[in-house]
Amino acid sequence: MNRLKAIQGDITKVHVDAIVNAANTTLLGGGGVDGAIHRAAGSGLYAACLKFHGCPTGEARITHGFRLPAEYVIHTPGPIWRDGNHGEDELLANSYRNSLKLAEENNCHTIAFPSISTGVYAFPLERAAHIAVTTIHNFLRDSQVIDEVKIVCFDPVTLASYQREIEKL
């Protein structure tokens, strides 16, 4: 069974143990998937995120899912694309890796990721998909906890990019 798959849909409606939020460093909501997750979860998520006083790029924090179908939300600020020469690739890999570590520590068997940093943060999609799929695949080789990872893509172009990377595995 392939433990990694890409699907198209709305991450706020996916039934998994944890969804990952492509957050900003304040963790207090924003645009895109971040805003959608905060709206769907309700005000309890904002209150839970306040206690962290932010989160550095590439790290991750976990809260309950509140009104979401997921038990947990894992918040990770991905890197803002500058030119590829400022550690963006490693920061993006860290966002995925640290999110997976938190999922494992909280006994999450199923996890859903958005395409981190490819929206307003302008990370090139093909490059981001390669980093995400490679990082998740490598993590799953050693994981005894996580059974399935879904990359939930907002549109068909993003979905196709992730599916191409998964087929290379």
Strand order in the sheet with 110-113: 4-8, 148-153, 110-113, 18-23, 72-77, 61-64
Decide if 19 contacts 112 (C-beta within 8 A): yes
- Catalytic residue positions? 34
